Amino acid sequence: MKPTLLTIVLYLAMACSVMAEPNAGFERFDNQAERPGTTSVDSSSQATAVELDAGVQQIVVRSQERGTDLDVIVWYPASPGGEAVLLGESVFFEGTEALRNAPISTGRFPLILLSHGAGLAGRAEALSWIATALAKEGFIVAAPTHPGNTGPDRSAAETMKLWLRPPDLSETLDAIAKSEAFQPHVNADRIGALGLSMGGSTALSIAGGRLDPELLANYCDTNELNASLCDWVRLSGVDLHAMNKQVASRDNRDERIRFVMAIDPVPVDVFAVETFSGISIPVALINLGKDGEIPSTAQAADTANAIPDASYEVIEEASHFSMFAECKPGAAEIAVQEGIEEPICTDGNGSSRHTIHAQLIDMITAAFNRALKQGS
């Protein structure tokens, strides 16, 4: 079933409430005196030698590109401590627990820059289910919330400025590299990027794929590619043909990134296909759903064929909605009552989202272990 305008509007509104915690907001660590304590763990082996907890902090990163601040959440390997918080909880979805201000484990860890999608998954917290798992496996994960994608400041115009998303990741990386709290714990030679949905296209961009401004300008001329998103774009009075096409087509490659993974990248069909051949790092692409059921705007098989060092996998039991957190009891019924037509709590073939998440976590962790931990 094609998405509806009501769905996207509700998704954006619901995404405003994505964090629940028993106490006050995140502490922010801006100087050495405020750094949390550290405990020792050996991070030099390919696999994490001891079981780690997932710590979490929020930082603010100044974006020179956007002229505003980016809210960035950082998950990291931690020893016990801190205060339990739930991230990503909403009226529909369960949250994932992490430990606010927990001690950062000593040693250096690979860093993964994480890019979220738009709408219901339009905040960094929405991907807590995967970020927390990666932190427990010995990765630092830094995820900016891309401005305008959700919440009270949601903006179709900002959401469609796809070329601004990769710099959000690069400026987050710049800040982490200067952070007194995190820089000592990051292995600067082992940095990757992970993106889901619109974040998947962000990951491809930071690897060296370039947008085709004509394809992007034409994207919402009809509803064939993404009815819900494009209805919102038109209702908001956004004319994609008026974009600065030179800026839109620029190269957003970040040479510090040595591996990227993109899951159901949307809209993958607005890239200049010929630029994929210039990507020089390994790329892993995953689609969710059976062939013929994967939305054309997310279909990544041809993209994988165009990238020199790319792998491609499909989880047939999943769907695009499998990227969302696990649903709360009764969430599907609430969604219907709210007029949301899409089966946001249903995965392919009636599979369990918990099972699909476990499979995705295994695949993602294994891929980043191979790419960023081998030889360390």
DSSP state of 37: P
Orientation angle between helical segments 227-235 and 5-14, nearest 10 degrees: 80
What pLDDT shows up at residue 39?
A: 33
- The span from the CA of 281 to the CA of 128, in Å, is 26
What pLDDT shows up at residue 50?
A: 57
Residue 328, class by beta-carbon neighbours within 10 Å (0-12 exposed, 13-18 middle, 19+ buried)?
middle
pLDDT in tens, 86-119: 999 999 999 999 999 999 999 999 999 999 999 7
pLDDT in tens, 143-186: 999 999 877 789 999 999 999 999 999 999 999 999 999 999 99
Residue 38, class by beta-carbon neighbours within 10 Å (0-12 exposed, 13-18 middle, 19+ buried)?
middle
User: By mean pLDDT, which of 34-48, 100-114, 146-160, 313-327 is the weakest?
Assistant: 34-48
For residue 246, the surrounding DSSP H or E stretch is helix 245-248
User: By mean pLDDT, which of 104-108, 229-233, 345-349 is the weakest?
Assistant: 345-349
For residue 314, the surrounding DSSP H or E stretch is strand 310-315
Instruction: Indicate whether 338 pLDDT > 50.
Output: yes
Question: Hunting for tokens 């627990």 — which residue is that?
Answer: 97
CATH code, residues 5-372: 3.40.50.1820
**pLDDT category of residue 46 using cuts at 50, 70 and 90:** very low
Q: What is the pTM of this model?
A: 0.88
C-alpha distance from residue 96 to each of 280, 300, 348 (Å)? 35, 29, 23
- As beta bridge partners, residue 312 has 285
- What is the chain's percent helix, strand, coil content, to nearest 5? 35, 20, 45
What pLDDT shows up at residue 171?
A: 98
Going 167 to 169 to 170 to 176, the CA torsion angle's sign is positive
Instruction: Indicate whether 25 pLDDT > 90.
Output: no
Chain length of the chain: 376
What pLDDT shows up at residue 225?
A: 94
What pLDDT shows up at residue 314?
A: 97
pLDDT in tens, 354-371: 999 999 999 999 999 999
End-to-end Cα, the chain, rounded Å: 46
Instruction: Indicate whether 265 pLDDT > 60.
Output: yes
In percent, the amount of the chain with pLDDT more than 70 equals 86
